[in-house]
Amino acid sequence: MRRKTFSESKTCLLLFLCGMCGIFAIICRSTSRLPSDASLRMQRALDAIKHRGPNARGTHIDPAGKYAIGHVRLSVIDLDESSNQPFWSSCGRYFVIFNGEIYNYLEIRAELEKDGIIFRTKSDTEVLLTALIQWGTDAINRFNGMWTFVFGDTQANHFVISRDRWGVKPLFRWEHDGQLILCSEAKGIIAWLGATPKPNKNSIGLYLKYGIGGECEESWFEGINRFPQASFQRVDLKSDSISPPGVYWNYPTKRTINNLEEARKKFQILFNDAIKIRLRSDVPVGLSLSGGMDSGSIACIVSEKFQRSLQSYTAWHEPKEKSELPMAQRIASQFGHVSTDVPETAHDQLVKDLKTCIYHLDAGHNSPAIVPYLNLCRAARSTLTVMLEGQGADELLGGYPYFDLFAALDFLFRGRFRQAWQCLLANAHALRWKNVAMDAVRFAISKVFINQARLWNAQSFLCEKSMNAKPNHLRNFSISKSNLNNALVYWHTYNLTNLLQYGDAVSMSVNLETRCPFLDYRLVELGFLLKTDLVMHNGFGKYILRKCMEKSLPQEIVWRKKKDGFGNSTTSMIRELVNKKGLPNIAVEKAIELGIFKPHIRNPEAFQDLPENIQFRIYSVLLWVEIFYCSSNSGE
């Protein structure tokens, strides 16, 4: 039976689409209308996110004063101006603004053309709009990509808002006095409002105490929240209703694939195709290349399967020979890619670069890697507009050391003591036995994790609300055989989103689009169908990927147990800087006035006694205060 279209079911949407871009929308319910200076406010909002889309800008303000939409475009697919947004249907009833990419747009387009639909452009934007008109919200599950959009029907005054499965593309929302405001970045909402909201001390406290960031629904500004990932929401102005966001995708509930050869073939086919569709572009494509297996696997497939030579970029730190660079250069040479090395930020540039990252994130971030990543993106943008990355493999396939603990517990409950011991040995090899024991206690007793901030005397530095902030989600051991599966779902749902947040914000700050083949939803679904023995085997995480790549990549990469992170010296440089110059006084006083910190923060000796990672977080919060509360948003 043919599905109803939006017009047939009297269901309609407003959509914002973009390539790799920025979107803004305001929708007014019955109690509200657009302000008289809506056009000026719209330009302010788009100016605030103009770095996301330097190639084109478009707006539409409803003559009846019920909604307004805006878009800034970074052209990646179909560079012609006919693909600019807001993008309207031929009949003029439906429109869309969209941020992201639909990688399988050619396959969806071919399916729609079989139904007699004629397309005006070659863009994924038109495919997205048409699919939603034809198939309704059922179309969302067909999209393979990353997106935020608001799709609308001007005749029915109905809107649908959606965000991709993993939250790759950001979307912030503010709802107040009958108005719903949506934007790719919080600063766009602030620009529309014309005033910076008060700091959200709960979310800032979660960051300072636990390093929680992009996975938290609340932003660092009161009233501005993140739209949930893997969700869509309807806004119907005729009935004056806003439905709560509904989930359109979830992880498989059972791991059913146990045969190694079957799994290897399926994984290889999907991995190859995930890379293939992410190579589609009308602008130059390159590769972020580390010395590890994830990006190395992409480099291999691009060369061996698709005969493409790419420009690759690798960040490194001193001493160079102990960084990822030597192995990355070896991989690039082996597969015919052109390697470019990107050194760390110079000391005198560090604070400026960190402020740039914080400005574009609208917050601090737990990872000091944001600074070298900014440098890598800047270097890559000199030759590229699109960059492939290996992000997402560790969360999908158990690549982080602490997954060994969850796997060991599962093997223990199954009576497989040898496998359990091998997982513990692998964890100790990566982290040392002392850290293994500390992690085991932290995952076994939630109070230990929740109270860890008291070890660095957080109660002397943080205001009461920040000090009382507690995470909504924790990953703990359980008396079951599903510890590893539950941990993988947890890290893929929450921790990965936090990493993707900075990946998008920092790359888009220099107009660079990043694409991650390991985030292909077909590959993710397969990964969560694999029995855990195919994920964690003999102490080796990412076992299925290792088996796929063991004949192509160097053996010291494929069978290396210890995972090297994105090495950098940002935290030590911050400590050295503060020891010499102290904290930024104006920001310190403003943060105390705002109630974020207690006056104890003024004590230089107390600050110097803190661990480096906590110093980095506190310093990041102070820079955020300086950017958004002490100046005219000069973080750029």
pLDDT tens digits for 145-189? 999 999 999 999 999 999 999 999 999 999 998 999 999 999 999
Position 1 pLDDT exceeds 60: no
374 by DSSP, 3-state: which? helix
Residue pair 585/544 in contact (Cβ under 8 Å)? The answer is no
pLDDT tens-digit map of 480-520 = 889 999 999 999 999 999 999 999 999 999 999 999 999 99
Instruction: Kindly state the average pLDDT of the residues 208-227.
Output: 96
> Which pLDDT score is estimated for 95?
95
- H or E element in which residue 285 lies: strand 285-288
Q: Which two tokens stand for residue 623?
A: 């820079």
- The whole-number pLDDT of residue 479 equals 84
Q: In Å, what is the CA distance from 484 to each residue of 210, 261, 391, 414?
A: 22, 22, 20, 13
The secondary structure element, H or E, covering residue 358 is helix 350-361
Share of the chain above pLDDT 90, in %: 79
For residue 31, name the pLDDT band (cuts at 50, 70, 90): confident
Q: Is residue 629 very low, low, confident or very high in pLDDT (cuts 50, 70, 90)?
A: very high
- The pLDDT value recorded for residue 522 is 98
Residues 322-335: b if buried by 16+ CB within 10 A, e if exposed: ebbbebbbbbbeeb
Instruction: Report the amino acid identity of residue 113.
Output: E
d(CA 509, CA 614): 26
Task: Calculate mean pLDDT across residues 22-46.
Answer: 95
215 has pLDDT over 80: yes
**How far, in Å, are 70, 183, 249 from residue 309 at the CA level?**
37, 37, 35
The per-residue b/e assignment along 369-397, b for 16 or more CB within 10 angstroms, e otherwise, is bbbbbbbbbbbbbeebbbbbbbbbbbbbb
Q: Which pLDDT does position 632 carry in this prediction?
A: 55
**pLDDT of the residue at 618:** 97
Distance, CA of 171 to CA of 487 (rounded, Å): 26
| pLDDT band at 433; cut points 50, 70, 90 | confident
Q: 17 pLDDT exceeds 60?
A: no
Report the alpha-carbon distance of residue 5 to residue 622 in Å, rounded: 51
Confidence of residue 80 (pLDDT cuts 50, 70, 90): low
Q: Across residues 215-244, what is the average pLDDT?
A: 95
For residue 309, the model assigns a pLDDT of: 97
pLDDT given at position 449: 87
Residue matched to tokens 């910076």: 196
The confidence score (pLDDT) of residue 10 equals: 31
- pLDDT tens for residues 47-68? 999 999 878 889 999 999 999 9
> What's CA 456's distance to the chain center, in Å?
29
User: End-to-end CA distance of the chain, in Å?
Assistant: 53
> How many residues are listed for the chain in this entry?
636
Whether pLDDT at 254 is above 90:
yes
| pLDDT (mean) for 575-585 | 92
Stated pTM of the model: 0.92
What share of the chain has pLDDT > 70, as a percent?
Answer: 94
Q: How many CB atoms lie within 10 A of CB 147?
A: 24
- The residue-averaged pLDDT of 325-350 equals 93
Q: Name the DSSP class of 252.
A: -
Structural domains present in the chain: 14-171+227-247 (3.60.20.10), 260-397+490-558 (3.40.50.620)
The answer to whether 622 touches 629, Cβ cutoff 8 Å, is: no
Lowest mean pLDDT among 14-23, 344-353, 414-423, 576-585: 14-23
- Read off the pLDDT of residues 275-295 as tens digits, 9 standing for 90 and up: 999 999 888 999 999 989 999
470-479 long-range contacts, CB within 8 A, separation 24+: 470/206, 471/206, 471/210, 471/212, 473/215, 474/446, 474/449, 474/450, 475/443, 476/443, 476/444, 476/446, 477/405, 477/406, 477/409, 477/443, 477/444, 479/413
pLDDT: which is higher, 104 or 73? 104
Give the pLDDT confidence score for residue 97 in this predicted structure.
92
Residue-averaged pLDDT of the chain: 91
In contact, 363 and 185? CB cutoff 8 Å: no
Residue 83 has pLDDT above 80, yes or no: no
| Per-residue model confidence (pLDDT) at position 397 | 97
How many CB atoms lie under 10 A from the CB of residue 26?
26
**Contact at 8 Å (CB) between 358 and 620?**
yes
Strands, sheet with 67-74, edge to edge from the N-terminal-most edge strand:
56-61, 67-74, 20-28, 179-183, 172-176, 224-226
From the CB of residue 352, how many other CB atoms can be counted at a distance below 10 Å?
11
Contacts of 37 (CB under 8 A, 6+ apart): none
Is the peptide bond between 401 and the residue preceding it cis, with omega within 30 degrees of 0?
no
DSSP assignment of 52-94: G-BSEEEEEE-TTSSEEEEEEEE--S--SGGG-SSEE-TTSSE
The pLDDT tens digits for 440-458 are 888 888 888 889 999 999 9
Is residue 404 within 8 Å of residue 536, measured between CB atoms? Answer: yes
Q: Residue 395: what pLDDT? A: 96
Q: Which of 401-405, 471-475, 525-529, 565-569 has the lowest mean pLDDT?
A: 565-569
Q: How many CA atoms lie within 13 A of 197 on its CB side?
A: 22
Residue 564 has pLDDT above 90, yes or no: no
* Token output for 510: 């220099």
